[in-house]
Every structure is written in C-alpha cells, then in structure tokens.
Amino acid sequence: MRRLQLLGLWGLCQIAAVVASVWMLIAALAGSRRAWTLAVAHDQLANAAFGGHEDETLSSRAGKAAREGKRWACIFCRLLDRLDPNHCEKSIEPDEGKPMA
C-alpha cells in the first residue's frame, strides 16, 4: 500500500513540475520576480535529489564543500564563477544544510 501511495505522490509531483516549469517560463518572459523564486525552488529540488538538504541550494552546499576542499565542489564553483564571480561563496546559507565548520 505504501508503494502505491508513493507512486501516486510521484505522479502529482510530475504534474507540479510541469506546472512550475511553465509558470517559470511565463514569468521569465514577463520579467517577473516569480521566475527567480521558481529557479531557486528548482535549485533546492536538485540539491535534495543529489542527497543534500531540501531547503538549501546547490550553490550553498557547494560553497561549504569547496571550503573543505572537496573536488566536485571546487570544479562546480569554478564553473559558476564564470557566470557570477564568487557565486558559491556569496550563496552560502549557514543556517541550512550541513553546519559550517
């Protein structure tokens, strides 16, 4: 029964993902702040999918990991630095995810 409930929840999440993506596109085309809010939500979803805290962005998690010298994070942050200098460091959320050392 639990497996069936999870499959139903998965289906609802797929519908929500499509709706959120469409809203994000519309908001981006309209220049609305909602596009940014939805981008952050997608970012948090990706972080949770990769095993991180559900309320933390990938950039924040990577910034913390880069400070610890983790290779994946250093590479990821260098890529993001090309778009926004010092992005990961600026994105660190000390109150979310893994506590900072």
Q: Would the pTM count as exceeding 0.75?
A: yes
* Cα–Cα distance, 1 to 60 (Å, whole number): 37
SS (H, E, C) the chain: CHHHHHHHHHHHHHHHHHHHHHHHHHHHHHCCCHHHHHHHHHHHHHHHHCCCCCCCCHHHHHHHHHHCCCHHHHHHHHHHHHHCCCHHHHHCCCCCCCCCC
Residue 90 pLDDT level (bands cut at 50, 70, 90): very high
Q: Over the stretch 51-76, which tens digit does the pLDDT of each residue have?
A: 999 999 999 999 999 999 999 999 99
